[in-house]
Chain A
Amino acid sequence: MSRAASNVVSPDAMLVSAIRSGDEQAMAQLYERYSSIVYSVALRVLGDTGAAEDILQEIFMQLWRSPDVFDATRGSLPGWLAVITRNRAIDSLRKRRPETDITDVIVSIEPDLVGGAELSRTLEKIRGALGGMPPPQRSALEMAFFEGLTHTEIAEKTGEPLGTIKTRIRAGLLTLRKAFNP
């Protein structure tokens, strides 16, 4: 299954367009669709339900206030939400001001992968790919992504060479990619 970004206007883009004109029902629909993803990622990073709820609120309020921050032609909405949630949660974890301009986040992932019935199969594939990774590789990847540790911090924590950590992180990401583009 291709994971290339689609330039076709998706139903998500229509909802975002409705939100742009102040349609609260469209916002409610979008929340029903993707609040679980946002909340799960925030919870995984922060490990605290209250903090995760705050991030959830923050992410959706930002989308309500500035729907134009998401450009449907530049990536999928759920993928974009997942990445900006992670980035915002990491910033919150580190008690720092948001560092990443969310308009710079372009996510190459098909909406179908996370829409409806496809989500469980997609998760199965992702978890299968993670489960098939060498534990040090998976660990380095998850520390970098969910804990927001830099490669230097991971190297210090694990006692592994810096170059090895860099390579493991990259290899882990390519392994995930190959699970959808064998």
Chain B
Amino acid sequence: MSVHEQFADDLSLYALGALQGEERLAVEKHLQDCPDCRRELVQLQGDLALLALSASGPKPPLRSRKRLMAAIAKEPRRTPVRLVKRKTWWTALEWAAAAATVVIVLLLMRQNTDLRRRLADLQADSAGQQRQLIQAKELISTLTSADAEHFTLVAGKIPPQPQGKAIYVRNSGTLVFLASNMPKLPPQKTYELWLIPTSGAPIPAGLFRPDTHGSAALIKPPLPTGVEAKTFAITVEPGAGSATPTSTPIMVGIGE
């Protein structure tokens, strides 16, 4: 350790508390700027502690202990109540914060799990719906395509007859209608399909003109929901169609 020689002796005296006046001030000023001398001062105080220990031996009388402990017992408590209370208060807050954190984390984990599950369900639903949509599009495309070839199967040598097939779901008001071998119509005329309810007037269910093969299809024409169908019927109407049948039906459903 490099202690400044000019302060070496004075540091010992300073540690002993023997310096006064300007000498003391000079050492204190130097100590402020000199870490080496500060370390040396600590060492010197350790040296002094050893010197103090050389006096060890005598033990204090028992009454000293009693005197001390009695004095301590009489001392006003060193704000332990306030400290303990404060500590408890803070501890309670800390516990509450920790518990709240745990609850929040659990809730978030659960929410996260739920969201993941819902996302997986939605993805599954979406995929299913997409598959169904594709199938429906393919089905509609098949039914309505101009390139579609239609074949009517009959027994024996009976020539094919005009035929219509209506598939109806009452609750959703959904209707799919397929026709085949339909006779050709004059240009200003059209076929009109009618829903014949169990009660009330016939309801228009769509206009159609068969292709060159006599085939036609109506996919989900606009219909009210919940109407109970007695049967379906086809009439020949003016080109723009009619709100009520204007001719006798040429074809009527027979039910299955």
Contact = CB atoms under 8 A, between A and B. Distances in A.
Contact of A36 (B16, B47, B58, B68): B58
**Among the interface residues B53, B72, B73, which one has the most CB atoms of the partner chain A within 10 A?**
B53
A142 B54 CA distance: 10
B155 interface: no
Contact of A107 (B12, B19, B46, B63): B46
A3 B19 CA distance: 26
Given A151-B13, A170-B12, A39 B58 contact: yes
A79 to B, nearest CB: 4
A154 to B, nearest CB: 9
B55 A40 contact: yes
Given A40-B58, A150-B20, A22 B43 contact: no
A163 B13 CA distance: 12
A176 B43 CA distance: 11
Interface residues of B, number: 46
Nearest to A49: B61
A142 B52 CA distance: 9
Nearest to B19: A150
Interface in A7-42: 21-22, 24, 27-28, 31, 35-41
- Candidate in A119, A150, A163 with the most chain B CB atoms within 10 angstroms: A150
A108 B45 contact: yes
A109 interface: yes
Main SS class of interface, B: helix
Contacts of A35: 59-60, 64-65
A126 interface: yes
B42 A87 contact: no
A60 to B, nearest CB: 5
Given A22-B80, A107-B42, A177-B43, A126 B67 contact: no
Interface string B33-70: 00000000111111111111111111111011101110
30 contacts: A27-B69, A27-B72, A35-B64, A36-B57, A37-B56, A39-B60, A40-B55, A41-B53, A43-B55, A78-B53, A80-B49, A83-B45, A85-B52, A107-B42, A107-B48, A109-B50, A119-B56, A122-B53, A123-B54, A126-B54, A130-B51, A144-B13, A145-B51, A166-B9, A166-B10, A169-B12, A169-B13, A169-B16, A176-B47, A177-B46
Interface of A: 3, 5, 21-22, 24, 27-28, 31, 35-41, 43-44, 49, 52-53, 56-57, 60-61, 64-65, 75-76, 78-80, 82-83, 85-87, 90, 99-100, 105-109, 114, 119, 122-123, 126-127, 130, 141-142, 144-146, 148-151, 163, 166-167, 169-170, 173-174, 176-177, 179-180
Interface of B: 8-13, 16-20, 41-61, 63-65, 67-69, 71-73, 75, 77-78, 80, 83
